[in-house]
Structure 1
Amino acid sequence: MKKDVKYNEHTKELFEQLPKGAFLTVKHEDKIDTMTIGWGTVGYIWQKPIFTVAVRYSRYTHEIISKSQEFTVSIPVNKDLKQALATCGTKSGRDIDKFKECGLTAEAGKVITTPVIGECDLHYECKIVYKQDMEPAQASDDIHKTCYPKGDFHVLYYGQIVACYVKE
């Protein structure tokens, strides 16, 4: 059973798990992909609750999300999904079916057409309201050195949180 919660009700669980990994799932037409993210933030801007995610240009996920208007973020709070997170963070959806490979279930969302990861406990469904290509010249030298030594920058996607729920 899915219980609706406020977008900021489980930020402690979100921010404890995010550095360990969460699933960003995208869908466009018949293509679905999920990838591991370790960066993101939840906040309130433009009079909306927003989940911001970063996707590198080189990722297969970027090919799909750039054509989509939505995404989901699924957080494994009570289940150990380390192996699936590792696979989804190192393998490309161009080469493998991550859902099949990792035993993950693409479960229908409540509001949008992009699925959530059924094995996770906390879910955010988001409609993209803004996207921003990173401006390399605007990043500090420290960020360049630690996060972009090969110049593979991100696009930032700002998703209005249209549903947030936990599995009971």
Structure 2
Amino acid sequence: MKFYENLSEAMENLTKRGAFLTVKESDSVNTMTISWGYVGYSWNKPFFVAMVRPQRYTYEFIKTAKDYTISIPYSDEMKKALTICGTKSGRDIDKEKVANIRFIPAKITETPVVDNCDMYYECKITYVDRIHKDSFPDELKKNYPKDDYHYVYYGEIVECYTK
């Protein structure tokens, strides 16, 4: 499927319900809930751009990873799982068990996807940068009361599909 197919529905559900950002490192997998991110086209390639704060457990995985996946549910069936994965750390709990989710193999990436979602993006990390406080607009700094600015991950979409 083309990266822009179902994009309106995917972005609406990302911002309304959230999505799972999943990363694999060695034999370990961690997922977290995101509601910020976007799909775009740069450098003649489609990208899913995701942001991760440095204090998140997922950051420990993604800073050395080659890829990540985005799994977006379209219904409230995953609401509890999204809440757990957005408020609890994989340092402290087994999210797969506690949130009652299941990781299944992705089509291309080493990182799996979260089963029972409706839209999937498999992404190869191409570029990373950190949001720089000095060049960030004052009106948006309220999103960072602890000065914990995100790292921004540009993941080339190497595969996308619906359930």
**TM superposition score category, shorter chain reference:** over 0.9
Q: Deviations over 1:101-141 (max 9, x none)?
A: 01101000000110000121110000000000111111111
Contiguous gaps of at least 5 residues in structure 2: none
Q: Is the contact made by 1:122 and 1:165 (CA closer than 8 Å) also made in structure 2?
A: yes
Amino acid at match of 1:41: Y
Superposition TM-score, scaled by structure 2 size: 0.97
Q: 2:86 aligns with which of 84, 89, 94?
A: 89
Superposed displacement of residue 79, structure 1: 5.2
Q: Distance in 2 between matches of 1:34 and 1:27?
A: 9
Aligned position for 2:58: 61
Q: 2:151 aligns with which of 136, 152, 155?
A: 155
Q: Distance in 1 between matches of 2:114 and 2:9?
A: 17
Q: 2:140 aligns with which of 138, 143, 150?
A: 143
Superposed displacement of residue 78, structure 1: 3.9
Aligned position for 1:166: 162
Q: Distance in 2 between matches of 1:113 and 1:93?
A: 19
Q: Which moves more between the two structures, 52-61 or 7-16? A: 7-16
SS in 2 for 1:17: helix
Q: 1:35 aligns with which of 20, 32, 36?
A: 32
1:13 aligns with 2:13: no
CA RMSD of aligned residues (A): 0.9
Contiguous gaps of at least 5 residues in structure 1: none
Q: Is the contact made by 1:6 and 1:164 (CA closer than 8 Å) also made in structure 2?
A: yes
Aligned position for 1:116: 113
Amino acid at match of 2:10: L
Aligned position for 1:134: 131
Superposition TM-score, scaled by structure 1 size: 0.94
SS in 1 for 2:77: coil
Q: Is the contact made by 1:79 and 1:120 (CA closer than 8 Å) also made in structure 2?
A: no
Q: Distance in 2 between matches of 1:46 and 1:102?
A: 37
Runs of 4 or more consecutive aligned structure 1 residues displaced over 6 Å after TM superposition? none
Amino acid at match of 1:143: L
Amino acid at match of 2:53: R
Q: Distance in 2 between matches of 1:78 and 1:51?
A: 21
